[in-house]
Structure 1
Amino acid sequence: MSSFTHFNEQGRAKMVDITDKLETVRTAIAITSVTVNKQIYEKIKNNEIGKGDVLAVAQVAGIMAAKKTSDIIPMCHPLSLRGVDISFSWLIQNEEYKLEITVSVKTKGSTGVEMEALTAASVSALTVYDMCKAVDKGMIIGPTYLEEKTGGKNGDFRREDM
């Protein structure tokens, strides 16, 4: 028998039983970015991308992804999310245009929302790419990372090195 909680007695993957875990308020913040060229930056800012309002669509896609995380990540538990917020900001340096995407997810439950936040951030970035790829396929996504999380038996986490 493995000492890892995600394996059964046969050494095969299993979804962990969280029945006995306490319900607490749990939050997670994930961040990613999409680096684009000046042309895409200007088209997004001026709402000139042919597929529509890039940030509005990316925001809705991210929220939908957070709600569907357990459908695409095999060992994630389905969660009743209490809130998902996605914000965008531009970081412009030396002719580099980076769209930073910050996702905040909240629930009250027996397991955390880190995967929901990371999934929402990733899908938001992929949506930006999809909507802008006709202009330039050279966009760069990432890095994608957990910035912080609160709640649960393992306590709080805050990234210090980014």
Structure 2
Amino acid sequence: MASELTHLNDRGEAHIVDISHKPATRRRAVAQARLVGQPHTIATIMGGGLSKGDALAVARIAGIMAAKKTSELIPLCHPIALTKVAIEISEFGEDAILILASAETTGPTGVEMEALVAASTAALTLYDMAKAIDRAMVITDLCLLEKSGGASGDFVRA
């Protein structure tokens, strides 16, 4: 595993990494976020009872849109031609919602950031849609669960 910070040049200045020499390979990443709230809030979101509409559908679309805009949000990310983005939203006990976001491409760089941005944006969208009934909700456990493809190999969170 590389120990150097690839987004810093020899003088310690931030720069975008040159990926022109890297081969195009199939790459996939899965990230998660968790929205924790009052049991009534979680049941209302999951049951489609919010006055703003179908929060789950809106969060899925928001996550997909965010993945496509990752390079516009994270300064040193390359624009990536995504081949697939999927958002899965499920109840996680009575007081939480689990968001899983997966992103795929065939290209010279990975899609970890796209999956993370998708998961976090879907969670933020659910928060936004339900904040009128529970402003104490918390978004937790944003992390990369797995990644495959590329020279650094596969990663699966234990």
TM-score by length of 2: 0.94
Aligned counterpart, 1:83: 84
Which position in structure 2 is the counterpart of 1:143? 141
- Aligned pair 1:100/2:98, yes or no? yes
The aligned residue for residue 39 of structure 2 is 38
Gaps of 5+ in 1: none
Are positions 1:115 and 2:116 aligned together?
A: no
Shift of 1:9: 4.1
3-state secondary structure, aligned to 1:15: coil
The 2-side partners of 1:9 and 1:52 are apart by 51
TM-score, scaled to structure 1: 0.92
Q: Deviations 1:8-53 (Å, cap 9, x if unpaired)?
A: 3432100000000010000000011101212212322332211111
Alignment-derived partner of residue 156 in structure 1: 154
Separation of aligned partners in 2, 1:82 and 1:54: 25
> What percentage of aligned pairs have identical amino acids?
49
**Where do 5+ consecutive residues of structure 2 fail to align?**
none
Deviates more, 1:29-38 or 1:150-159: 29-38
| AA of the residue aligned to 1:91 | F
Q: Give RMSD over aligned pairs.
A: 1.2
In structure 2, what is the equivalent of residue 132 of structure 1?
130
Please tell me the residue identity of whatever aligns with 2:79: P
Q: Which amino acid letter does the alignment assign opposite residue 87 of structure 1?
A: E
- Distance across 2 between alignment mates of 1:13 and 1:26: 25
1:114-161 per-position Cα deviation (integer Å, ceiling 9, x unaligned): 00000000000000000000001010101111000000000000001x
Distance 2:151 2:47 in 1: 46
Q: Which aligned runs of 4 or more in structure 1 are off by greater than 6 angstroms?
A: none
